[in-house]
Amino acid sequence: MVVEEENHNNEEKSKKVEQVKPFTLEILKLIKDCQQQHGLRHGDYQRYRGYCSRRISRLRKVLKVPQGDKKHFKKRDVTEAHVMNSRADERFLHIPLMLAERCWAYAMQLRQEANTEPRKKFHLVQKLRKACVFALQLDELCKVDRCDARTRLESQAYVSWIHGTLQFELQLWQKAAENFKQAQIIYEKLASALPEEDQIPYKQRVEEIAPSLRYCAYNIGDEKAVDLLELRSQGVLETFDALVSQTKVNTV
C-alpha cells in the first residue's frame, strides 16, 4: 500500500511538472529592442549601460533577489532553483542576461574612449571577461528542462558571440573565428525555423558577424579559413538539429 501511494504521488508530481509551461526567452530580439530604445540607435553605450543597471535593480526588487546597497552588499545569483520552481518567473533569466549586456555595453563605451586613453583597453577586456561569465551563467540556466529548445539555441548563440567578441579584442583570431562562426550558424538555423516576420533580427545578426569573420580569416592568413571553419562548425552543430526541429514544431 505504501509503495502504491508513493507511486501515485510521483505520478501526480509528474503531471504537475508536465503542465508547467516552458519558458521561451527570445534573447536576440529582447536585447535588440532594448538597445534600440535605450541609446544604441545613436551609439550611446553609456546610456544603454545605465538602462541595464536600472533594469537589473528593478528585476531584483520585483523577483525578491536583492543584493543590498554598497554598505550592505551580499551577492545573490539566480540559480537553477529559481528557474525550476513551478511558480517561477521567466524574468529570472533576464537578470544574468542584463548583467552580461551591462558589461558588454561598458566595454563598447571603453572601446570608443580607448583611442585617447590606451589604459582603457585593459578595462575593456576585463568587462568582456565578466560579460562572458554572466553569459555562461545564463546558458546554464537555459539548459534546464523548464526552458524550451529555442531558448537553449538562443543562449548558446549568445555565449558564442560574446566569447568571439572577447577573443577578437585579444587578437585570438582562430578562437574568435570559431565562436563567431558557431554563433552565425545557430542564428541561421534559428531564422530558418521561425516564421518570416520573426527572422529579421537573426538575419541581421548573421550579416553583422560576417565582417568580423572576414577580418579573423585575414589575420589567420588563410583565404579558405572561413570555409574550413564552416565545415568544422557544421560538425559541431549537428547536435543542435534536434533543438531546431523542436523550435519549428513550437512555432507552427
pLDDT digits (tens, 9 = 90+) for 45-61: 999 999 999 999 999 99
Residues (pLDDT < 50) of the chain are 1-3, 13-17, 236
DSSP string of 70-114, one letter each residue:
STT-------HHHHHSTT--GGGGHHHHHHHHHHHHHHHHHHHHT
The H or E element spanning position 250 is helix 241-251
pLDDT at 15 (0 to 100): 47
User: Is 27 within 8 Å of 14 (Cβ atoms)?
Assistant: no
User: CA separation (Å) from 211 to 20, 46, 140, 228?
Assistant: 42, 25, 29, 17
The gap between the terminal CA atoms of the chain, to the nearest Å, is 45
Identify the DSSP state of 241: H
Count CB-CB contacts under 10 A for residue 252. Answer: 7
DSSP string of 187-237, one letter each residue:
HHHHHHHS-GGG-HHHHHHHHHHHHHHHHHHHHHT-TTHHHHHHHHHHHHG
User: Is 171 within 8 Å of 219 (Cβ atoms)?
Assistant: yes
DSSP string of 111-128, one letter each residue:
HHHTTT-TTHHHHHHHHH
- CA–chain centroid gap for 119, Å, is 28
pLDDT at 179 (0 to 100): 96
User: Is 150 within 8 Å of 190 (Cβ atoms)?
Assistant: yes
pLDDT at 215 (0 to 100): 93
Query: Using CA atoms, how far apart are residues 229 and 38, in angstroms rounded to an integer?
Result: 35
pLDDT at 88 (0 to 100): 83
pLDDT at 130 (0 to 100): 98
Cell of 187: 542564428
* Structural domains of the chain, ranges and CATH numbers in brackets: 22-147 (1.10.3450.40), 149-252 (1.10.3450.40)
Q: Rounded to two decimals, what is the model's pTM? A: 0.83
pLDDT at 80 (0 to 100): 85
Q: Within 13 Å and on the Cβ side, how many CA atoms surround 110?
A: 18
